[in-house]
Every structure is written in structure tokens, then in C-alpha cells.
Structure 1
Amino acid sequence: MKQMTLNDIKDYELVVDNFAGGGGASAGIEMALGRTVDIAINHDPAAIAMHKANHPYTKHYCESVWEVNPYEVTKGKPVGLAWFSPDCKHFSKAKGGKPKDKNIRGLAWVAVKWASFVKPRVIMLENVEEFKTWGPLDEEGKVIPDRKGETFEHFIKALRENGYVVEHRELRACDYGAPTTRKRFFLIARSDGEKIIWKKPTHGDPKSIEVKNGILKPWRTATEIIDWSIPCPSIFNRKKPLAENTMKRIARGIKKFVYDNPKPFIVRIGQTGFGKDRLQYPLDKSLTTITAKAEHCLVTPFISTYHTETRENEVRGQEIDKPITTVDGSNRYALATAFIERQFKSSTGHAMNVPLGTVTTIDKSRLVEAFLIKYYGTDIGQDLQKPLHTVTSKDRFGLITIENEQYKIVDIGLRMLQPRELFNAQGFSPDYIINNDYKGNKYPKTAQVARCGNAVPPPLAKALVEANLPELIEYRAIS
């Protein structure tokens, strides 16, 4: 009997997503191949429900990966790609010194099970960088220091004994078009004799020669994922005051990204206040064009407020260390500068013109906004349609210079980044369904963020799949 060639079997090959979660890997695979995955497996009903909402033509198995018989679910059809994203929290450094779970750490062995049962042509596995340190645990559930990496080497050896060539690397999502710095371990194993291909980065540091010469695109930034129309409440008139450490982080961020920054990130607030014409421009041009940068949280100093005409003799400026007057959504401000504040002890946050930091299962990123208005000696700015008002403040606290123009901060706003913004940062498409399952049941924000933090950035999956399985790109699923 004539042996089937790659061209003979490609129209019959299946694509399988183990540990499918909310669908990050599946979304990336679909971006690469133009088709949905055939089989998705996950033990979590909520995760499967989100996956079904976005991948309705996939066959879903809501059960433990160990309970699934690879040969039975594939019905004897060849598997072109089997993707694995086993639980990573018991490898991650974020786990700290807490006891590890041997059962969870052993989930990756299911890839060897698939290799021995149905021998997928290509196996891909994603995890945290620390996956390479996989080794035996002591009786207290702690990693034995001098045996780090021992189990990982056994795992690689088991794949090779099943006929696979194995390679692994660490990749950053920002280098492949996702506006996040998330860094992950990736393993590719092939059994078909073809070469493993690691796609070269498509994006890079804007300051690099490659970007300046047009070889690479500049990193996508946090600015892109922020919904600037969402209000950013003042940090001063909260019912429950912010924690002291939070205020200290905000203060450090204001100093670093506003006061000490020669070109702070600025958003223009137009005649419609927070409306659609609120644009972002680069500061290296005239002041009418302003840049915007965004990370996990946005901080903005508010400068001046104007309200009813009946109180026109009252001054509307104030220091940022005083409670803020009511801030409405009308055209009361000239400029706003922003940065991301992160809820980590040693973090100052980061600017808006770089990729968002790694998205975790618990939202640790907050947007800080500082609203500014021009400072005219003893006056602190004006309503865009009214005369200037006298300013009570005689000191120069909160005064900064931008492009040779003086501005003053009147308030600081703070809000958590919303789930949609975090999914945008991971590289999901804007229409990816995150707030409800396929039955229409709503997900709370905490569940949405958890799904996002556990997700594979789709652009990374896309890059690896399209580089190693180009022959499947023209294939369309057979009903």
C-alpha cells in the first residue's frame, strides 16, 4: 500500500487545544490557520462556556485531560497540532515559597500521553519561564534546590523517545504584536522530520536600529488598549481612603512620569470634554499634538474646574493635597497626563508609550490621570468659553513645564483597568466575547480578569503556528 504523503493527509488532520481555558491559544491558532480548532479540552465548566461562546464549531470536552482518551476523541483521524498550556502557578515565581502541588506540576505529562497514543505531527507547549526548573519536591512541597530541572529533562527525553525532535525558547508577546511585555516558555516538538521554525520578531523597541530602519514595527503600547472615555475618579474624595502604600506609589509615579519627565504623556481634552474628539498626539510636535502612553493604571492630575455661572467670582483652582471639588464631564480641562500604577511593593508603575506589563489573574494595574491647565502667573487657567478666574492658591505646588508652557495639577484620578482593556493588551480581538458564556450567562469582572491572566497571548500562538504549519492554513474544517 502506498504511504500517504503530507499533502494526502493534511485535509484530514485535526487541531487540538488541551487546557483550552478561555481560548487564547485557540484564538491565535484561528488567526494563523483561518479555521477553528477541532477539539478543546478543559476541566473547568466556566472556561469551556467562554470557549464555546467564541468557538462554537469546536468539539468541547469538559473533563480532566487525564480522563480523555486521545484515540477515542480523535476517532482515529491524524492530529496535525496538539497544543498544551498546563496550569503554571506551581512553577511560577509568583508562587513564592508556598508549597507546590505535585499533581498540578505533573499535568504537562499529558503531552507525552498524546505523543504515545496518537503521535501528533506537531506538539506545542506553553508555560512560565520557570517550567525549565521542574524537579522533585521534598515532603513539605518545596523544590529540592540541587534537583531543579531534573523532571524537565525527563519530560524532554520522554518526547524524544516517542520520535520527536524537541526545541524550546522564551518569547515575549510584545515582540509579536501584542501590547504586553508578557514573557513565556514555549516548546515545539515535531515527529514528521520537518524543521522547527522560530518566527523572527515582527516588533521591537522604537529606539532600536531595526525599527528606525523599518525592519521591525515599533512595539504596540499601553496607550492603544485604554478606553479613554471611562471616568477616572479622584483619589481625594473617596469614601474609603486609599492605602498609604498606594498613595506613595502614586506620588512616585507623579514625580517620575509628570514632574521629572521632559515629555510627559498627554491627552488633549476637547470642546466635548471626555467625548470622542479627545485625541492623543506626539509631544515632539507642537503642543496641539500630544502623545498618549498607557500601562496598567492611569493617573491624571486635574488642574482647574468651572461649574455654574452663579459662582463665577469663586476660584476654581486647587492644590492636589486638598479634597477636589466636583469634577464633571464637560470641557473644564485643557490637558491630562497619564501613567500606569501597579500594585506591587517595589513598582513605580510605567509610562504609557511602552507595552503593558504582564497581565495576571488578579488585576494589579491601575490608570492614573493628572488633569492640567495652563498657569498664568496668579491665575491657573480658565474655562474654554469664559474669562479667567482669580486663583486662591499663592504657592506654586503642582506647577510643571511642558514644551515651555506652564501647567498646574488640580486633581489626580485613579481607576482599575477594565477586563476589556486587559484582553486588548493580551492581543485578543476587540470582538472576543469575555463578559458572558454561550448561553448568555454573565461573568463577573473577577472571572473575566482570571481568564485573561491565564490566557496565552493570541499573537504568540499565531506566530508559532503559521511558521510551523503553513500547509494547514488553506484548510477549512469539514462539517
Structure 2
Amino acid sequence: MEVGLIIDCFAGGGGASVGIEMALGRQVDVAVNHDPEAIRMHKVNHPDTIHLTEDIFKADLKGIVKGRKVKLMWASPDCTSHSKAKGSQPRKSGLRILPWAVFKHAREILPEVIIMENVEEIQQWGPLDEKGYPIPERKGEDYKRFITAMCSLGYRFDCRELIAADYGAPTTRKRWYAIFRRDGKDIVWPEQTHFKDSEPKWKQCGEFIDWSDLGKSIFSRKKPLAEATQKRIANGIRKYILENPEPYIVKNEEAVAFLIQYHGEMKAGDSRGQRLMEPIKTIDTSNRYGLVTAFITKFYKSGTGQGCDEPLHTITTSPGHFGLISAFLIKYYGSGGSCQTVDCPLNTITTKDRFGLVNVVLDIKGEKYILKDIFLRMLKPEELKLMQGFPKDYIINRDIKGRAYPIKEQVARIGNSVVPIMAQKLVEANCPYLKTGERMPNIIIDESEQQLKFA
């Protein structure tokens, strides 16, 4: 029986490709992407794949296929000019037409199954005005035209909006998935495996944090944190710790933690972020997530605060415990802002009210705690990789020649990727007959022991 070919268009760093490999135990045969940096990451993880680094419209898939059957083609056209994340910005017509490249290649090589992925807003794809803005009354015209064109090639079509967390990925990324088939078999949608409010529950993104690295204290930085960042931290402490009956407790049980987000402008009372017992929200091409860890210790005093008519004091524990800081000051000088603890002299006082006092006593499961320090760092690419649903052994820090892959590019590839678990589930449901074995993990180098091992 002919095995047939598998092609990944818009392959990026390899999210769909590794998902297909997880489902079928075989690497994709052909991967196309215009970005050499994306191909670098793809090639180190899929060395046996034919890689085409070129515009998808110009790629000669027909010449590569040479009349052989294409059993499966995955296509995830660039979504940025369809996404609501663009807000009020004008769209780029060159990116919005990318689905037509799928039609072009489908017409030439007639894959038996085509699976597409994009933002749900693609269903509103329609013409733009002369300034690059969607024409409201013509929403969905181009989308319907594209679906009709695909069906004219003999494909049956169905689509759904699916949330990755429902299928075991630790991210709530929601996407439009479409399946086209012309092999006479039924279109199959995978069964949901995880649930928000029942067992088995959505995976916690806190399980994928490297808790050996908590970052730096917000109080002792040479360059003070930006005012907006300080506000996000303060608002996050209020929402995810003070007002939360079940804050996320770090494994060492001496700290609580949450994530803050740097998306968009800071608004009054903004507490953009999330708890770590939930899947991470959508990861994009920039690192937007900061890990805030608040160290706590038991509160041994009977008081829960102090009045403003007495000196600000520092609470300490009985002998054998750490010295504690029960309060800190947030300073607002113009656009900068910074923090200071209250066990040191107050910085310069101006004629305007520039200082905010944060004095925190926590009640966690009936025990009283106070904060003794607050740490902040950005999430690491390896953490984002796991939260996006990539296998632990997936290589993102170097290319096939051993050259380092920049952190910025690592994050961009992860944020731009298909959630691998979603590709796995969709391919398992629709193409189980293509399975040839199990995925072999990459061999990685343990630099501390200078030896090869399986991840």
C-alpha cells in the first residue's frame, strides 16, 4: 500500500509538524516557509524533511510531488491581518490572501485531506477599503468565496472553533480549524479530553514553571521598574493573592505566585494576568508574560496593620525566622516609578503626593501570612514551549549546525506556532491509517555531564 506524502505549508518552527509526528510516528515529507529563521528551527527537529524556504505562492509543490499521492496537507496561513489583536490598525491585503495559496496547491496536487488552522476571525474575511480597513457590510465575502472554491475541487468541508486546553494543552488558545476531504471518508472531530470545571481538569501552567529561578526582587534593582509594571504587580497582588481565596502556592510553600501580562496599554485598575492553576492564555510572538513571586512567612503578631499617625514600622518574627518586610512603598515620579522597602530612609519627598503604601497580610487556608519580598522575571522560552504544548525534547535554542538560536526568535516561533497537541488530535482522528509507529524523541546534550541522552 502506498504510504503517500505529508506536507506542512506555512511550517514555521514546526508546531503542526511535530503534532503530526506525535500522531503518526513519521516526519512530514515537505515543509514550506518564507522565513529562513523559522526553517532553522524546523530543520533541526525534522532533519529528514524536504525544506523549501520561499514564498508559498512560488513554491513548486507539484514539482516536488511528481505525481505521487499527497495523503495530508496542513496549512496555517499568517493570521495577523485577520486577528482581532490588530485592533483598529489597518490590515495588509498581501497577508489576507494567503489562504488562496492553499487553493492553488490543492488544485495542483489534490491532497486527500487538508487541515487548516487560523484565528476565528478568518470567518469574517472580506474586502478592505482604500485605507486598509475591513468593509463592515462585506464581512465574510472572501471567506465564503474561498470555501466555495475549495469545495469545487471535490472537497467536503467542516469547521469548528476549538480551545487547546480542552484537549490537554496548557494554553487556552482558541482557533478556527477546518477539515477538507476528498477521499470519501467522514470528517471526524476529536473528543474533548479536559474540562474547565470538571475532571479531568485543564492543565495548570504553573506545572511548567522553572521554580529554581524566581528572578530578581523588585526592591533592589539598579534600574527601577516602570510605573506601569509596578501597577500591574500591585493590581495582580490585589486580584490574585489578596482577593483570591485560593492563591497559587509555590511548591516550597513559602511563596505565592501569578502571571502579569504586558499586552496593550495600562488602564486604571488593570490587573491583566492570571493564576497559575489555569492554562496560560494565548502566547504571541513577543514575550508578554512576567512571573511574579511573592515570598511569604507566617504572621506572628496580633496586629494586622498600623495607623498613619505613627512611624511606619517593620515587623520581625521570633528568633529562628527571617527578618520580614510587611510593607513597601510605590513611588511615582513621572513615567518612571520605582519601589522601596520601609526599612530604609524615605527617598526625596516632592510637593506632590508621590508615595503609595502597600501593607499586606494574607489569609491562606486559615493561616496568617505577610509578604517579605516580591520577585519578577519574564517567562523563559523553554517554559513557553511547554505551555504551548510542545514535547520537552523539542529543540528551540540551536539550529542543525549547533549555532545558537536567539531568544527573540525562539519566542517568535513559539508564539507563531500551531499548538502541537491540536495537530496531533486532529490528525489522529482523521488519518489514523497513516500511522507508522511512535514519535522518536530528539537526542539532547546534557552539558553538565557532557553526554547524550533522550529528553
How would you bin the TM-score normalised by the shorter chain? 0.7 to 0.9
The 8 Å contact of residues 178 and 425 in structure 1, kept in 2 or not, is answered as yes
Once residues 154 and 401 of structure 1 are traced to their aligned partners in structure 2, the CA distance between those partners, rounded to angstroms, is 58
Q: Which residue of 2 aligns with 1:416?
A: 378
Query: Is the aligned partner of 1:440 residue 2:402?
Result: yes
**In structure 2, what is the equivalent of residue 61 of structure 1?**
52
- Secondary structure of the residue aligned to 2:101 is helix
Say which SS state the counterpart of residue 229 (structure 2) adopts: helix
Contact preservation (8 Å) 1:197, 1:467: yes
SS in 2 for 1:167: strand
Question: Alignment partner of 1:169: what SS?
Answer: strand
* Residue aligning to 2:239: 256
Q: Number of aligned pairs?
A: 393
Q: Distance in 2 between matches of 1:434 and 1:458?
A: 14
Q: Select the residue among 184, 188, 203 that pairs with 2:179.
A: 188
Deviations 1:168-205 (A, max 9, x none): 11111111111001011111000011110011111111
Of residues 394, 403, 406, the one that matches 2:365 is 403
Say which of 194, 197, 202 aligns to 1:203.
194
Give 1:403 shift: 2.3
CA contact (8 A) 1:29 1:465 kept: yes
SS of the residue 2:273 aligns to: coil
Match in the other structure for 1:343: 262
In structure 2, the CA distance between the partners of 1:471 and 1:167, relative to structure 1 (3 Å rule), is same
Cα 1:255–1:347, aligned 2, differ >3 Å: closer, same or farther?
Answer: closer
Q: 1:57 to 1:404 in 2, by over 3 A?
A: same
Aligned 1:315-326 pairs, distance under 5 A: none
The one of 137, 140, 148 equivalent to 1:157 is 148
The change in CA–CA distance for 1:381 and 1:431 in structure 2 (over 3 A counts) is farther
Q: Does the residue aligned with 2:74 lie in a helix, a strand or coil?
A: strand
8 Å CA contact 1:374, 1:380 repeated in 2: no
User: Which runs of 5 or more residues in structure 1 are unaligned?
Assistant: 1-7, 212-216, 270-289, 291-334
Deviations along 1:303-332, one digit per CA (max 9) or x if unpaired, are xxxxxxxxxxxxxxxxxxxxxxxxxxxxxx
Q: More strand per residue: 1 or 2?
A: 2
From 416, 420, 426, the counterpart of 1:464: 426
Residues 398 and 410 in structure 1, CA contact (< 8 A), matched pair in contact too:
no
Please report how far the alpha carbon of residue 264 of structure 1 lies from its aligned counterpart in structure 2 after TM superposition: 1.8
Gapped runs of 5+ residues in structure 2?
303-314, 328-341, 343-357, 440-455
Amino acid of the structure 2 residue aligned with 1:168:
C
- CA, structure 1 residues 390+157, in 2 after alignment: closer, same or farther (shift >3 Å)? closer
In structure 2, give the amino acid aligned to 1:29.
Answer: I
Structure 2 residue aligned with 1:30: 21
| 1:241–1:14 distance in 2 versus 1, CA, 3 Å | same
Tell me how far 1:404 sits from its aligned partner.
Answer: 2.2
Deviation at 1:256, TM superposition (A): 1.6
Aligned ranges 1:57-136 → 2 under 5 Å: 57-136=48-127
Shift of 1:262: 2.1
1:377 equivalent in structure 2: 301
Q: What does residue 387 of structure 2 align with?
A: 425
Q: Displacement of 1:390 after TM fit?
A: 7.7
1:18 deviates by 0.4
Amino acid at match of 2:259: I
Q: Secondary structure at the match of 1:443?
A: coil
Change (3 A) 1:391 1:343: closer
Percent sequence identity is 48
> Helix, strand or coil: the match of 1:218?
coil
Secondary structure (helix, strand or coil) at the match of 1:406 reads strand
1:347 deviates by 4.3
Give the alignment's TM-score, normalised by structure 2: 0.83
Q: State the secondary structure of the residue aligned to 1:203.
A: coil
RMSD value over aligned CA atoms? 2.1
Matches within 5 A, 1:300-319: none
Deviation at 1:475, TM superposition (A): 6.7
Contact 2:168 2:193 in 1 (8 A): yes
Task: Indicate the residue corresponding to 2:335 in structure 1.
Answer: none
Q: Using the TM superposition, give the Cα deviation of residue 21 of structure 1 relative to its aligned residue in structure 2, in angstroms.
A: 0.5
Contact 2:236 2:271 (C-alpha < 8 Å) held by counterparts: no
For 1:266-277, list aligned pairs within 5 A.
266-269=249-252
